Structure 1
Amino acid sequence: MRRLLFLAHRIPYPPQKGEKIRAWHMLDYLAERWEVDLGCLVDDRADLEYLPVLQSRCAEVQWWETGSRRQSALRALLRFRPGKPLTLGWFHNPSLAAWVEQGLAAGRWDAAFAYSSSMAPYLLRKHGLRRVLDMVDVDSEKWRAYAEGARGVMRPVWAREARTLLGFERQAALDFNQTLLVSPEEAQRFADLAPDCADRLNYVNNGVDLSRFDPDRTYLNPYAGTGPALVFTGTMDYRPNVDAVCWFADTVMPLLAGRSPAPTFHIVGANPAPAVRALASRPGVQVTGAVPDIRPFIAHAAVAVAPLRIARGIQNKVLEAMAMARPVVASPEAYEGVRAVAGQDLLVAASPAEMAARIGAVLEGEHPGIGERARRAVMKGHDWSATLRRLDPILSGEADAKAMALPALAEERA
């Protein structure tokens, strides 16, 4: 069997957050077709208990701890170079680099797969084997959005990161055989920013675990109140999620407060930032912190909301709620990349007034069957078993003969 090197900037298990969900499903799929050697970084010691799962799927697993966030930040500052993004220093590990070099020198692998642009430096200019980079999202665009919304000293810092990271993303895409993104929209965005890379780009849509997020299962109701529950799920120290829930609590919830019974807003996810914890003092807002299982909160919600204003790629929270057959009200940014029809399979709203109106319409029963249509949409467009099949011609090289194929989005969503 062919042997594959798989590099990940974080241990790809458990699949509880966006980057790990995609990494795990890709690794699990490829392990059926290749002997996989996994090299990864570990930033949370609690994840080490899951190493046996990875070892059961891989021929070899090598891992290195990154230390605390402060240590990673210091490492990034010490490796600061003019014109280079700080992100690369954050994820640089000499031991991982040495392990990769030794394996390459021994001809150990037939191909290599780098998950995220942070892993690309370990394989740059290694032309002796086929190399695929899964950039996932255009991360430089995230930093650009941070800069646009920032004040004070962080604005130029984030603007510099956006500029230098885009330069590195372009360099990596030109060097690797193929570079993947999470959706045709995200691939097109990068092609617009780096048109000389367009014929080396491809995409693999995110999927959702349809057997795990199954609306036919029975879940105990975690909500204590009598009013309808609005739910937001996600890691709650992640800046885009923090921004989303604060904006929703500030601008949308006041417009819903006059309803009877008044809806409650439940923020479900680990590591709530101080700004998120502070929302719990407001009437009608509850912050759970980490929960053993998010599915009961989705299953018993009247509406799943995704009011993100800073978003890249495909939002797993949207796919998971749709898979659970719940009505979803999302911002245009959260809707991007989802293979579903707005107004039919989910509702999309930009302004606070529009979002409150869409939520109110669902609560009034104006969209019967939207949850069932949502489930059918993700079954059609986001089944992992179908989306991951695109990896086969990409890793074999069959996809190289074709320019980037970005299908008509209207047709894909129909």
Structure 2
Amino acid sequence: MNILMLGPWLPTVRRQLTTERLHRFARELAREHRLTLACTTDHPNPFGAVSAIRDEFEDLEFAVVPNRWKRLWSVAHLATGSSAEVAYFSADALRNRIRDRAKSAPFHLVYVASTSMIPYALELAPRVPVVLDFGDVDSEWWQDRARQFSGFKTKIYRTEAMRLREVEIMGARRATHCLVATPQAARTVASFAPWAAVSVIGDGVTADEPAVPTRIGGPHLIAFTPCLEVNSEAQAAAEFCDSVLPAVSNELGRTKLLVGCKSHFRLARRLANVPGVEVVAPTGDLRPLLRRAAVAVAPRRFGAETRRSVLAAMAAGVPVITTIEGLDGLPIKHGRELYLEDNALGFAGRLIDLLRKPTLREVMGARGRAFVRAHCSTVAEGARFSQVIAAAMNGTSRNGSAPDGNGAGV
């Protein structure tokens, strides 16, 4: 079967995107189908990335949009009632090539992995099934940015979020089936497209690396999750240092909190000066910190990243303490795969108990790791993804009727 996959395959200057989910699902499709990838980029020299993608997937269609005038073009569209993001990555050259490909070798399914690529799918024949992967929902990214700023910037971000939401609604109406990365994203899609068939299929966590060995003796190392990106997140880490760490240190002696930050932003630098805190920056990868840690904590929910970091810690065999919000719908029981606490006193007491008992840490780490392998690994999520694709292609999945399976029907 011929499948067209529309997504952010090449690096862009305008907005940095992670593509692990995209690549994993592309590999699933390429195992059994003839896969054509399509994208646009504003990168002035994308040919190294193009070569790497073609080495793995062979068939790639792309167009380069000139950065400078496209910025003006997209701002003009925002001012006149359209999405700047969609206008920015719109390219007639790519649109024509996709249309020509569809005529010579019709596509049996279209998989869309970003909101900015939805218009390309809308122009294809209505009989072609479309699977639309919202991921964490692009319009929510802009809403989050709007909440972090004030004044004119907030207005711009909020307006773009509204315009993208309109495109997402059009995409949901056209889609045979919709995918999201988290239950929170599923609730968001249900709020603006209640008719849509939606399946929650996570990014998947690699659980093939050896488990972190249980450490005995100090200093007691605690990993704070997820990696911090903005001042509000660093403030939450600072509050944890003030309300929880002193009680643990007083009881157990030398204790250190390991904190990963995606950049050297202002509060990250200030956090590095707090006694008992080690800040690693810039980094977006928690795994090196988890390999050093005895316990991982996620005391505050920071969007979908909290869920991913909790699963990453469990996959590494590190016992986790988090909150109900941090679970975000995961079918996990307190005291079985991890611990749930809702206040500073509870976090401190649980940390002291775990850090004192290496055998308990080993048992909880093994249970968490087994849960991830069974339910949230890249293999498990890939299998659910393949089920949705098969159902969309054979006509058993339509808006309002999700296919059976663990990830379906949210």
Aligned residues: 392
Contact map agreement 2:258 2:280 (CA 8 A) in 1: yes
What's the CA shift for 1:357? Answer: 4.5
Q: Give the aligned partner of residue 318 of structure 2.
A: 326
Match of 1:208 among 205, 216, 226: 205
Q: Give the aligned partner of residue 379 of structure 1.
A: 373
The amino acid across from 1:166 in the alignment is: R
Give the TM-score, by structure 2 length.
Answer: 0.79
Structure 2 unaligned residues grouped into runs of 5+: none
Q: Deviations over 1:252-288 (max 9, x none)?
A: 0112135143432323355443442443233233332
Contact map agreement 2:108 2:393 (CA 8 A) in 1: no
Match of 2:337 among 345, 364, 376: 345
What's the CA shift for 1:44? Answer: 7.2
Q: Give the aligned partner of residue 252 of structure 1.
A: 240
Match of 1:124 among 122, 125, 128: 122
- Which of these two proteins has the greater Rg computed from alpha carbons? 2
Does the alignment pair 1:227 with 2:219?
yes
Paired residues for 1:297-376 under 5 Å: 297-312=289-304, 315-365=307-357, 367-368=360-361, 369-376=363-370
Q: Per the alignment, do residues 264 and 376 of structure 1 end up closer, same or farther by CA in structure 2, a change over 3 Å counting?
A: same
CA RMSD of aligned residues (A): 3.9
Query: In structure 2, what is the Cα distance between the partners aligned to 1:48 and 1:400?
Result: 38
Query: In structure 2, what is the Cα distance between the partners aligned to 1:64 and 1:352?
Result: 52
Query: In structure 1, what is the Cα distance between the partners aligned to 2:259 and 2:65?
Result: 29
What's the CA shift for 1:228? Answer: 2.0
Query: In structure 2, what is the Cα distance between the partners aligned to 1:315 and 1:42?
Result: 30
Give the TM-score, by structure 1 length.
Answer: 0.78
Q: Deviations over 1:119-167 (max 9, x none)?
A: 2122124225222111112343454455456544444444333433333
Structure 1 unaligned residues grouped into runs of 5+: none
Determine helix, strand or coil for the equivalent of 1:136: coil
Query: In structure 2, what is the Cα distance between the partners aligned to 1:313 and 1:125?
Result: 33
Determine helix, strand or coil for the equivalent of 1:244: helix
Does the alignment pair 1:261 with 2:239?
no
Q: Give the aligned partner of residue 163 of structure 2.
A: 164
Query: In structure 1, what is the Cα distance between the partners aligned to 2:207 and 2:280?
Result: 25
Contact map agreement 1:268 1:287 (CA 8 A) in 2: yes
Contact map agreement 2:226 2:286 (CA 8 A) in 1: no
Query: In structure 1, what is the Cα distance between the partners aligned to 2:144 and 2:184?
Result: 17
Query: In structure 1, what is the Cα distance between the partners aligned to 2:298 and 2:169?
Result: 30
Contact map agreement 2:207 2:377 (CA 8 A) in 1: yes
Determine helix, strand or coil for the equivalent of 1:55: helix
Q: Per the alignment, do residues 93 and 18 of structure 1 end up closer, same or farther by CA in structure 2, a change over 3 Å counting?
A: closer
The amino acid across from 1:365 in the alignment is: K
Contact map agreement 1:11 1:41 (CA 8 A) in 2: yes
Query: In structure 1, what is the Cα distance between the partners aligned to 2:335 and 2:65?
Result: 44
Determine helix, strand or coil for the equivalent of 1:78: helix
What's the CA shift for 1:27? Answer: 0.8
The amino acid across from 1:253 in the alignment is: C
Does the alignment pair 1:35 with 2:28?
no
Query: In structure 2, what is the Cα distance between the partners aligned to 1:28 and 1:262?
Result: 46
